[in-house]
Amino acid sequence: MKILILGKPQSPIKPIIWKYGDEVLEREDSIDAHFMKENKIDFVISYGYRHIIQTSIIDHLPNRIINLHVSCLPWNRGADPNLWSFLEDTPKGVSIHFVDEGIDTGDIIVQKEVDFSGEGETLFTTYQRLQDEVIQLFKSFWPKIRAGQCPRQKQPEGGTFHKTSDRKRFEPLLVKGWDTPVDMLKGKALHEKSVN
Protein backbone atom coordinates (compact mmCIF):
# COMPACT_ATOMS: atom_id res chain seq x y z
CA MET A 1 0.00 0.00 0.00
CA LYS A 2 1.01 3.61 -0.50
CA ILE A 3 0.27 5.55 2.67
CA LEU A 4 0.30 9.32 3.07
CA ILE A 5 1.03 10.76 6.51
CA LEU A 6 -0.25 14.31 6.87
CA GLY A 7 1.54 16.32 9.55
CA LYS A 8 5.04 17.18 10.63
CA PRO A 9 7.91 15.47 8.75
CA GLN A 10 9.61 12.41 10.26
CA SER A 11 6.42 11.34 12.01
CA PRO A 12 6.91 8.86 14.87
CA ILE A 13 4.24 6.63 13.27
CA LYS A 14 6.31 6.21 10.10
CA PRO A 15 8.44 3.29 11.45
CA ILE A 16 5.25 1.51 12.58
CA ILE A 17 3.87 1.65 9.04
CA TRP A 18 7.17 0.58 7.46
CA LYS A 19 7.08 -2.65 9.47
CA TYR A 20 4.21 -3.79 7.24
CA GLY A 21 6.19 -3.15 4.07
CA ASP A 22 4.13 -0.18 2.94
CA GLU A 23 5.47 2.82 1.06
CA VAL A 24 5.16 6.07 3.03
CA LEU A 25 4.89 9.65 1.81
CA GLU A 26 4.78 12.61 4.19
CA ARG A 27 3.20 15.98 3.56
CA GLU A 28 2.87 18.99 5.85
CA ASP A 29 1.26 21.46 3.46
CA SER A 30 -2.21 21.38 1.94
CA ILE A 31 -3.11 18.64 -0.57
CA ASP A 32 -5.80 18.25 -3.21
CA ALA A 33 -7.44 15.41 -5.15
CA HIS A 34 -4.95 15.85 -8.02
CA PHE A 35 -2.06 15.15 -5.62
CA MET A 36 -3.83 12.02 -4.36
CA LYS A 37 -4.42 10.62 -7.85
CA GLU A 38 -1.00 11.59 -9.18
CA ASN A 39 0.72 9.81 -6.26
CA LYS A 40 -1.70 6.84 -6.22
CA ILE A 41 -2.34 7.12 -2.48
CA ASP A 42 -4.19 4.16 -0.93
CA PHE A 43 -4.59 5.37 2.66
CA VAL A 44 -4.18 8.65 4.57
CA ILE A 45 -3.23 9.17 8.22
CA SER A 46 -3.56 12.66 9.65
CA TYR A 47 -1.49 13.33 12.77
CA GLY A 48 -0.97 16.93 13.85
CA TYR A 49 -2.04 18.18 10.41
CA ARG A 50 -2.96 21.88 10.32
CA HIS A 51 -5.21 21.85 7.24
CA ILE A 52 -8.78 20.72 6.61
CA ILE A 53 -8.94 17.69 4.33
CA GLN A 54 -11.08 18.52 1.31
CA THR A 55 -14.33 16.66 0.67
CA SER A 56 -13.04 15.59 -2.76
CA ILE A 57 -10.21 13.69 -1.02
CA ILE A 58 -12.58 12.09 1.49
CA ASP A 59 -14.82 11.01 -1.42
CA HIS A 60 -11.77 9.66 -3.28
CA LEU A 61 -10.75 7.43 -0.32
CA PRO A 62 -13.92 6.54 1.61
CA ASN A 63 -13.14 4.89 4.97
CA ARG A 64 -9.41 5.11 4.25
CA ILE A 65 -8.57 8.38 6.00
CA ILE A 66 -8.00 8.45 9.74
CA ASN A 67 -6.90 11.05 12.27
CA LEU A 68 -4.92 10.71 15.50
CA HIS A 69 -6.28 13.30 17.94
CA VAL A 70 -5.09 14.09 21.46
CA SER A 71 -8.50 14.41 23.07
CA CYS A 72 -11.22 12.15 24.31
CA LEU A 73 -13.75 12.84 21.56
CA PRO A 74 -16.34 14.32 21.32
CA TRP A 75 -14.61 16.64 23.80
CA ASN A 76 -12.16 19.24 22.51
CA ARG A 77 -12.48 18.89 18.77
CA GLY A 78 -10.37 21.35 16.81
CA ALA A 79 -7.42 23.36 18.12
CA ASP A 80 -5.50 23.04 21.39
CA PRO A 81 -7.39 20.00 22.72
CA ASN A 82 -5.04 19.40 25.65
CA LEU A 83 -5.29 23.01 26.85
CA TRP A 84 -9.09 23.00 26.69
CA SER A 85 -9.37 19.70 28.53
CA PHE A 86 -7.96 21.51 31.57
CA LEU A 87 -9.58 24.94 31.04
CA GLU A 88 -13.02 23.32 30.78
CA ASP A 89 -12.20 20.31 32.99
CA THR A 90 -13.41 17.79 30.39
CA PRO A 91 -12.30 14.16 29.94
CA LYS A 92 -8.67 13.82 28.89
CA GLY A 93 -7.36 11.22 26.50
CA VAL A 94 -6.63 10.27 22.92
CA SER A 95 -8.75 9.12 19.99
CA ILE A 96 -8.22 7.58 16.58
CA HIS A 97 -11.14 8.27 14.26
CA PHE A 98 -12.23 8.22 10.64
CA VAL A 99 -12.15 11.57 8.87
CA ASP A 100 -15.43 12.97 7.57
CA GLU A 101 -16.44 16.45 6.35
CA GLY A 102 -16.53 17.88 9.89
CA ILE A 103 -13.62 18.77 12.13
CA ASP A 104 -12.80 15.78 14.36
CA THR A 105 -16.39 14.50 14.03
CA GLY A 106 -15.85 11.15 12.29
CA ASP A 107 -16.62 7.71 13.72
CA ILE A 108 -14.30 6.62 16.52
CA ILE A 109 -12.09 3.59 15.94
CA VAL A 110 -10.55 3.52 19.42
CA GLN A 111 -9.88 5.89 22.28
CA LYS A 112 -8.28 5.87 25.69
CA GLU A 113 -8.86 8.09 28.67
CA VAL A 114 -5.70 9.32 30.39
CA ASP A 115 -5.49 10.27 34.07
CA PHE A 116 -3.47 13.34 35.05
CA SER A 117 -4.04 13.32 38.79
CA GLY A 118 -0.33 13.41 39.65
CA GLU A 119 1.39 16.51 40.97
CA GLY A 120 3.68 18.72 38.95
CA GLU A 121 2.00 18.16 35.58
CA THR A 122 2.32 20.97 33.05
CA LEU A 123 0.76 21.58 29.67
CA PHE A 124 4.02 20.32 28.15
CA THR A 125 4.26 17.09 30.19
CA THR A 126 0.58 16.25 29.65
CA TYR A 127 0.89 16.92 25.93
CA GLN A 128 3.96 14.67 25.69
CA ARG A 129 2.15 11.88 27.52
CA LEU A 130 -0.86 12.20 25.20
CA GLN A 131 1.47 11.99 22.21
CA ASP A 132 3.03 8.80 23.60
CA GLU A 133 -0.42 7.33 24.32
CA VAL A 134 -1.81 8.01 20.84
CA ILE A 135 1.29 6.51 19.20
CA GLN A 136 0.98 3.36 21.32
CA LEU A 137 -2.73 3.15 20.50
CA PHE A 138 -1.92 3.49 16.81
CA LYS A 139 0.76 0.80 17.08
CA SER A 140 -1.76 -1.61 18.66
CA PHE A 141 -4.61 -0.92 16.24
CA TRP A 142 -2.80 -0.27 12.95
CA PRO A 143 -2.92 -3.93 11.82
CA LYS A 144 -6.75 -3.98 12.14
CA ILE A 145 -7.13 -0.51 10.63
CA ARG A 146 -4.83 -1.43 7.73
CA ALA A 147 -6.82 -4.62 7.07
CA GLY A 148 -10.16 -2.77 7.18
CA GLN A 149 -11.22 -4.80 10.22
CA CYS A 150 -11.26 -2.13 12.90
CA PRO A 151 -14.29 -1.27 15.02
CA ARG A 152 -16.10 2.02 14.55
CA GLN A 153 -18.76 3.84 16.47
CA LYS A 154 -20.54 7.15 16.05
CA GLN A 155 -19.40 9.88 18.37
CA PRO A 156 -21.75 10.63 21.26
CA GLU A 157 -23.85 13.79 21.06
CA GLY A 158 -22.46 16.96 22.58
CA GLY A 159 -18.82 17.59 23.22
CA THR A 160 -16.88 20.78 22.50
CA PHE A 161 -15.07 22.50 19.63
CA HIS A 162 -12.42 25.23 19.68
CA LYS A 163 -10.65 27.41 17.15
CA THR A 164 -7.08 28.65 17.57
CA SER A 165 -8.45 32.16 18.17
CA ASP A 166 -10.49 30.93 21.19
CA ARG A 167 -7.24 30.56 23.15
CA LYS A 168 -6.44 34.30 23.06
CA ARG A 169 -8.55 35.33 26.04
CA PHE A 170 -6.91 32.67 28.22
CA GLU A 171 -3.29 33.32 27.19
CA PRO A 172 -2.67 35.52 30.27
CA LEU A 173 -3.16 32.34 32.35
CA LEU A 174 -0.22 30.68 30.60
CA VAL A 175 2.25 32.35 32.95
CA LYS A 176 5.03 29.90 32.04
CA GLY A 177 3.93 29.20 28.48
CA TRP A 178 3.58 25.46 27.89
CA ASP A 179 5.37 24.82 31.21
CA THR A 180 2.38 26.27 33.08
CA PRO A 181 1.15 23.81 35.73
CA VAL A 182 -2.22 22.37 34.72
CA ASP A 183 -3.52 22.80 38.29
CA MET A 184 -3.49 26.57 37.61
CA LEU A 185 -5.82 26.08 34.63
CA LYS A 186 -8.40 23.57 35.84
CA GLY A 187 -11.92 24.82 35.22
CA LYS A 188 -10.89 28.43 34.49
CA ALA A 189 -13.05 28.59 31.34
CA LEU A 190 -16.03 27.24 33.28
CA HIS A 191 -15.54 29.94 35.90
CA GLU A 192 -15.51 32.63 33.20
CA LYS A 193 -18.79 31.28 31.72
CA SER A 194 -20.51 31.32 35.11
CA VAL A 195 -19.42 34.93 35.73
CA ASN A 196 -20.67 36.16 32.31
Residue boundaries of the structural domains of the chain: 2-195
**Full pLDDT tens readout for the chain, 196 residues:** 999 999 999 999 999 999 999 999 999 999 999 999 999 999 999 999 999 999 999 999 999 999 999 999 999 999 999 999 999 999 999 999 999 999 999 999 999 999 998 789 999 999 999 999 999 999 999 999 999 999 999 999 999 999 999 999 999 999 999 999 999 999 999 876 554 4
The strand pairing partners of 113, in sequence order, are 93
Task: Assign domain 2-195 to its CATH architecture.
Answer: 3-Layer(aba) Sandwich (3.40)
Global confidence as pTM: 0.94
73: helix, coil or strand? coil
81: helix, coil or strand? helix
Asked if residue 99 lies in contact with residue 61, where contact means CB atoms within 8 angstroms, the answer is no
- Which stretches of 29-80 are DSSP H helices? 33-38, 55-60
Q: How far apart are CA 1 and CA 69, in angstroms?
A: 23
